[in-house]
Amino acid sequence: MAAPQHVPFVTVEDEDDWVVSFALGPRGADRLTLVRTPHLEFMLRPEQRGVSVGAEAGQRPALLVAVQWGHKCVDVVSTAKRYSLDISKVDNATCNAALRVLGKMNFDQRFQLADGYP
């Protein structure tokens, strides 16, 4: 597997939409975004419900399968691709907020969430 992608910062939203977005690269120009909009899911077929994983512009979002959150690295597995992310530069408060939102996103156990974060 390739070396983990550098993540300079993570943004977290916990309002109508639940969002955890990883900035990628030295300047954070690209993003890997995990989004769940529970108040609109009733309009989707059951197999379409869950956390959307979007990375490249113009790419159709995939669904989240698993997240393995470690102290310095996060592995994100979607129905389309696996991502290895180096979060060593992200502060503890942001990591804790992201894990809390990921827990909310997983209210129906649609993906595996493993937290090895101290």
Does the structure show a pLDDT above 60 at 118?
no
Beta-ladder partners of 24? 30
pLDDT of residue 7: 96
pLDDT one-digit tens code per residue, 60-117:
669 999 999 998 999 999 999 999 999 999 999 999 999 999 999 999 999 999 987 6
Tell me the pTM. 0.89
- Within its chain, how far is the Cα of 71 from the centroid? 15
Q: What is the C-alpha to C-alpha distance for residues 74 and 69, in angstroms, rounded to an integer?
A: 5
Which tens digits make up the pLDDT trace of 33-73?
999 998 887 888 888 889 999 865 556 669 999 999 998 99
